[in-house]
Amino acid sequence: MAESTPLSYEQKVERLEQILTRLDDSETPIDELAADLKQGAALIKQLFSKLREVNGEVLDVLKELEEWEAED
């Protein structure tokens, strides 16, 4: 069995939007809603984790720029 490629940030957001649409649909079977809810929660955690990671990287770059500017 081949490993699936990890989803990009944008693909995760798109999948979360699909899940939210299904959760809003009164005709979605309850068992599927439970699975969707679990997957949605996992996606939210992954998305927030990525945002924290990128925020840290941006802060590091800004700090480096400030230090570089202070050297002049």
State residue 59's pLDDT score.
97
Sequence spans of domains, the chain? 10-71
Instruction: Kindly report each contact of residues 30-37 with a partner whose C-beta sits within 8 Å and lies 24 or more positions away, as own/partner.
Output: none
> Which helix (H) or strand (E) covers residue 62, if one does?
helix 30-71
State residue 46's pLDDT score.
97
The model's pLDDT over 13-34, given as tens digits with 9 standing for 90+, comes to: 999 999 999 988 888 898 999 9
CA distance linking residue 33 with residue 23, whole number of Å: 6
Confidence label for 54 from pLDDT (cuts 50, 70 and 90): very high
